[in-house]
């Protein structure tokens, strides 16, 4: 099982706590820093083909590859940067869950698990 754990700061922003691998770290940085409390434009980009094949946030580059979305670290020093590859359905589901479970409720701790081809967001207060 892969995971990323985030905690909320005094200022109300989520920050990295721990992760099982680089791919999950990329997902955590994308959600906590790039998406933050404003998921709608990233969700729309993933759904609509007419919004372009690439975009980026402050830390993450996103590319569409047929039915997949690739997330990479904008500042990676790797010759071939590590990428998190997810289906568009997984991408939209993660953003929807982030909006419902994190943006609206602002829990103290967020853990995102990837198990059996599914991303699951769990929260603790």
The order of strands in the sheet holding 83-87 is: 54-56, 60-65, 68-73, 83-87
Residue 16: the pLDDT is 92
Q: How confident is the model at residue 33 (pLDDT cuts 50, 70, 90)?
A: very high
Q: What is the pTM of this model?
A: 0.94
Write the CB contacts of 50 (distance below 8 Å, at least 6 apart in sequence): none
3-state helix/strand/coil string of 41-110:
HHHHHHHCHHHCCEEECCCEEEEEECCEEEEEECCCCCCCCCEEEEEHHHHHHHHHHHHHHHHCCCCCEE
Tell me what the pLDDT averaged over the chain comes to: 96
87 pairs with which residues across the strands?
68
For residues 106-121, average pLDDT: 97
Percent of the chain exceeding pLDDT 90 equals 98
Q: Which two tokens stand for residue 35?
A: 């998406």
pLDDT of residue 111: 98
What pLDDT is recorded for position 57? 94
Rounded CA-CA distance 17/102 in Å is 16
Q: Hey, where are the domains in the chain? A: 2-124
Q: What is the pLDDT of residues 38-84, one digit of tens each?
A: 999 999 999 998 999 999 999 999 999 999 999 999 999 999 999 99
Share of the chain above pLDDT 70, in %: 100
């Amino acid at each position: 099982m892969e995971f990323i754990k985030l905690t909320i700061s005094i200022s109300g922003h989520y920050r990295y706590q721990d992760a099982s691998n680089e791919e999950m770290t990329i997902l955590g940085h994308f959600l906590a820093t790039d998406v933050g409390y404003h998921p709608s434009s990233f969700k729309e980009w993933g759904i609509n083909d007419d919004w372009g094949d690439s975009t980026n946030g402050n830390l993450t580059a996103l590319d569409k590859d047929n039915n997949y979305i690739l997330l990479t670290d904008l500042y990676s020093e790797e010759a071939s940067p590590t990428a998190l590859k997810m289906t568009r359905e997984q991408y939209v589901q993660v953003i929807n869950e982030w909006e419902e479970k994190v943006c609206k409720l602002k829990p103290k701790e967020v853990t995102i698990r990837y198990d059996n081809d599914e991303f699951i967001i769990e929260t603790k207060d």
